[in-house]
Amino acid sequence: MSITSLAGRPAIVGVGTTPYGRLPEYDQYDLGAWALKEALSDSGLALGDLDGLIVSRIGDYQRFGEMLGINPRFTAQLPGQGRMAGIAIQQAAMAIATGMASVVAIVYGNNGRSSHDRYGGEGDQYGSGGAGQWFPYGMTSPGALHAMLFERHSALYGTTSAQLAEIAVTFRQHASLNPQAVMRDPISIETHQNSRFICEPLHLFDYCLINDGGVALIITSQDRAKDCRKKPVYIRGVEQATALADSSMPPDDFWRKPMQSISKRIYKQADCSRDELNALMIYDNFTPTVLFSLEGYGFCPIGESGPWVKEGHLRLGGRFPANTSGGHLSESYMQGWALNVEAVRQIRGECGDRQVENAELIQYMAAAPICTSIIYGVLPR
């Protein structure tokens, strides 16, 4: 059974972001509260209007709620993993659709750069939970896992590092048009190819940028959205599928099965087709994830994502402009959260030099042991 529409027509009515970069004066709570203040101001709502709160990567929901002085009737805390961004939005949409809450704030605070969070090695808190069993072999870090997946993809389909470079170069080009992006100097295919290896075959420019920052979104129903400052951006579809079984090892199918399962349902829920999409926001913790997502979510045939991206489809002006903010590779690794904000800002037409013309339908997608996807629309379903 699949959902055909969400009751209440949940919509994003406020988005807030802090600057990204090195912000050593702020902890996760400060960054989350700052982003939330921006989101509330964007929406025209006040703290007192919130009756739902979901936090991610912020250490303790209770302390955060105490700091804000609020008593929501729906509260949840999600771990600080990127796959949780889509889940937070899904949970908020569910709370609105069921009436369990009427205005939900979802808040993310990440001081990973200043607090030297590690994604590999013995102090790793985020990258490879429970993966200590592989340390005796020197195996660690999500980057290593993605390098292995990419090497396998290369062996099966002939995908090349220069095709990955196209992704890094494209997203950097987009970042050069985004004042909020941390890395704005354009790079070339050669820059990518000549950069040092981290986990070979992945180069430095195949990796996302760890930074400090906060992101918040305010979600409410179509009805309630009428009182807000800006035009709502509707959550026309939101779906999740997982591959938790055997997930300590890289998957044979590059997470295709859960992504295909989502694709079967999400266009029905959103009442649109792939062809109608104006832009994509693709979770890009590493460049290969973009390839796996394009194949899994059905934008190109299996095994052909490398040549497909080389044709320039992901560029501004291309068929499916992607990660117009620069994404995790060049704007900042805000773990999916800022990509969802970018989708909202594109649909509102707030993106200045990087604005996609007539951006009315945008799909967010993530590939991991938990896959999530969201389709945003300027109009409700």
Catalytic residue among 26, 333, 364, 376: 333
Closest CA to 271 of 227, 313, 234: 234
Question: Is residue 360 close enough to count as binding another protein by CB under 8 A?
Answer: no
Q: Is 283 a catalytic residue?
A: yes
Closest CA to 199 of 99, 314, 279, 287: 287
Length reported for the chain: 381
Taking the least distance from each CB to another protein, the nearer of 272 and 368 is 368
Q: Is 157 a catalytic residue?
A: no
Question: Is residue 125 close enough to count as binding another protein by CB under 8 A?
Answer: no
Taking the least distance from each CB to another protein, the nearer of 41 and 133 is 133
Cβ atoms 300, 294 nearer than 8 A: yes
Contact string (CB under 8 A) for another protein, positions 148-177, x = contact = xx-xx--x----------------------
**Which string of DSSP letters, residue by residue, matches 70-106?**
---SEEEEE-S-TTHHHHHHHHHHHHHHHTS-SEEEE
Give the footprint of another protein on residues 82-121 (CB under 8 A). Answer: 120-121
17 backbone dihedrals φ, ψ, rounded to 5°: -140, 150
Question: Is residue 141 close enough to count as binding another protein by CB under 8 A?
Answer: yes
Catalytic residue among 267, 283, 297, 376: 283
Q: How far apart are alpha carbons 54 and 364 in whole angstroms? A: 19
Upstream peptide bond of 201 is cis (omega within 30 degrees of 0): yes
The side-by-side arrangement of strands in the sheet containing 370-377 is: 74-78, 52-56, 103-111, 212-220, 11-17, 233-242, 370-377, 361-366, 279-282
Closest separation in Å from C-beta 97 to another protein: 32
Taking the least distance from each CB to another protein, the nearer of 1 and 245 is 245
Taking the least distance from each CB to another protein, the nearer of 1 and 249 is 249
Taking the least distance from each CB to another protein, the nearer of 134 and 353 is 134
Give the one residue of 201, 307, 318, 349 binding another protein; rule: CB under 8 A: 201
Q: How far apart are alpha carbons 307 and 312 in whole angstroms? A: 9
Residue type, 331: E
251 to each of 140, 304, 308, 368, how far by Cα in Å? 17, 18, 22, 10
Give the one residue of 66, 98, 162, 197 binding another protein; rule: CB under 8 A: 197
Give the one residue of 69, 138, 185, 357 binding another protein; rule: CB under 8 A: 138
Coil, helix or strand at residue 241: strand
Question: Is residue 79 close enough to count as binding another protein by CB under 8 A?
Answer: no
| CA dihedral sign of residues 266, 271, 273, 276 | negative
Give the footprint of another protein on residues 231-250 (CB under 8 A). Answer: 245-246, 248-250
Closest separation in Å from C-beta 14 to another protein: 39
Question: Is residue 134 close enough to count as binding another protein by CB under 8 A?
Answer: yes
Give the one residue of 196, 273, 317, 358 binding another protein; rule: CB under 8 A: 196
Closest separation in Å from C-beta 367 to another protein: 17
Binding site for another protein (CB under 8 A): 120-122, 132-141, 144, 147-149, 151-152, 155, 196-202, 245-246, 248-250
Q: Give me the active site residues, please.
A: 283, 333
